[in-house]
């Protein structure tokens, strides 16, 4: 993930940009976790209220929720077409069946980021 080094918070929305699928923040950023309905807007509002600099990171692999049977069917279809990754760094490794899904992950700590 490339991000703005001056950002306090990184938000990754779901595909509809209504929910928040991932939050990255520095230890010094006291952003409350506001998951649930319309969490993307609520996270942005909370960050603005605290005058935090927000980076919006749109990731196809993280944006895809698999909360319902239709979403799982969509994921399997996209996986078979190579549109989403499986078992790697967000790229299709050739596997046709879902295994351990590891999209993009990171940890923010004292102005450094470490990719997981």
Highest average pLDDT, of 24-28, 104-108, 111-115, comes from: 24-28
Residue range 37-90, pLDDT digits in tens: 899 999 999 999 999 999 998 887 788 777 778 878 887 887 788 766 554 444
Tens of pLDDT, residue by residue over 89-112, are 444 444 333 333 333 334 333 334
Give me 29's structure tokens.
Answer: 């950023």
pTM of the model: 0.62
Cα-based angle 23, 91, 110 (whole degrees, multiple of 5): 30
Other residues' Cβ atoms within 10 Å of the Cβ of residue 61: 20
């Amino acid at each position: 993930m490339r991000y703005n080094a001056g950002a306090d918070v990184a938000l990754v929305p779901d595909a509809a940009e209504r929910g928040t699928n991932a939050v990255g923040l520095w230890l010094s950023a006291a952003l409350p976790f506001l998951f649930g309905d319309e969490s993307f807007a609520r996270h942005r509002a909370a960050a603005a209220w605290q005058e935090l600099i927000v980076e919006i990171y749109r990731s196809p692999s993280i944006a895809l929720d698999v909360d319902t049977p239709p979403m799982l069917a969509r994921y399997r279809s996209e996986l078979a077409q190579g549109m989403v990754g499986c078992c790697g760094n967000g790229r299709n490794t050739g596997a046709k069946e879902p295994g351990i899904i590891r999209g993009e992950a990171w940890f923010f700590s004292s102005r450094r980021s470490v990719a997981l």
